[in-house]
Amino acid sequence: MFRSGSREQKRGDKAFAGGHYRDAVKHYLSAYDPKAQRQSKAELAHKLATAYKRLENYNRYLQFEEQASALYAQICTNQSADFLKAAGDTLRMADEDELAARAYRLASHYYASASTEEGEEGLSLVWSAWSIVCKSKATRDASPVPWSEAARTFTRAAEKSKNLETYRKAKAIQCTALCKIYSTPTAANLNEAVANFKKAARFEQFSARARICLLATQTLAASEAEAPKFLRQLTPTLDDIECPSELKERLHIATHMLNKKGGSPHETLKKLYTPLRTLTEATAL
């Protein structure tokens, strides 16, 4: 599909590194080679997807991520699932719900396949749990049942694969927190989610995402007097993840409005409820 190591690909890499994403797309597309090896084709398709993501051309982003994932599935199925799950998260944050659902459904399928192919029991359970998570995210299932099932499956994976214990426990904690947010978002549920995200934030490999989830949930759970404090801490952390510019802008504007004298914290925070829930949903798992 693409000519790995070609002059055009190197030009594309240079353009991408310089932030010239349109030029990167042009060079990557020019690097087409139907005789390239499967992994080379997959890698460059993923580069194209990433460039389109930076341009916020989400239809093309998912199109090329699907191509890359179909190729990677013949090499490493769970890697295909990881790419599509990440695409779903990005698309959900960008309010591209139909595209997000498509990405999550494909990710769920690939994770289920990885589970049946995996010989190590702990990892097999991990991929099974991720399949449950992605299937639920595709439908935006508000029921706590699938999230509880995923949490139990992650916990079983930790028991079966001790070398992965920290990783699985962190994901189980995050999953439990989501159960409480996805079921009725009462003050008690939000406060329990805050407590669980605090635990998850202690696991170094998830600290950035867990901290964002923690601050977003704290903003939702806090009183009008306390919420601005958490929101002001949240907005600088968004640079730690690939957050769509529109969502970042909405949160930055809200922070600015809260800092203005004579503003209405109640009205500003009310408008933030949906984007904060979306941010937490997309980054927590």
DSSP for 147-174 reads HHHHHHHHHHHHHH-GGGHHHHHHHHHH
Q: Is 118 left (phi over 0), alpha (psi -120 to 50) or beta?
A: beta
Question: One fold for both 1-74 and 76-284?
Answer: yes
**Low-confidence residues of the chain, pLDDT below 50?**
1-4
- Say what the pLDDT of residue 204 is: 66
Chain length of the chain: 285
Reported pTM: 0.87
C-beta of residue 159 within 8 angstroms of C-beta of residue 170: no
A 10 A CB-CB count for 186 gives 11
The contacts found for 48-54 with CB under 8 angstroms, 24 or more apart, are 49/83, 49/87, 50/16, 51/12, 51/16, 51/21, 51/24, 51/25, 52/21, 52/25, 53/90, 53/242, 54/16, 54/21
Residue 70 Ramachandran class (φ > 0 left, ψ -120 to 50 alpha, else beta): alpha
Q: Phi and psi dihedrals of 241, rounded to 5? A: -130, 165
pLDDT at 5: 55
Task: Give residue-wise pLDDT tens across range 52-75.
Answer: 999 999 999 999 999 999 999 988
pLDDT score at 262:
61
Token couple for 89:
């998260």
Q: Which residues, at least 6 apart from 202, have a Cβ–Cβ distance to it below 8 Å?
A: none
Does CATH number 1.10.150 belong to domain 76-284?
no
**What is the residue extent of each domain of the chain?**
1-74, 76-284
pLDDT (0 to 100) of residue 1: 45
Left (φ > 0), alpha (ψ -120 to 50) or beta: where does 213 sit?
A: alpha
* Topology given in CATH for the domain delimited by 1-74: 1.25.40
Contacts 24+ apart (CB under 8 A), 51-55: 51/12, 51/16, 51/21, 51/24, 51/25, 52/21, 52/25, 53/90, 53/242, 54/16, 54/21, 55/21, 55/22, 55/25
Q: What is the pLDDT of residue 163?
A: 75
The DSSP output letter for 228 is H
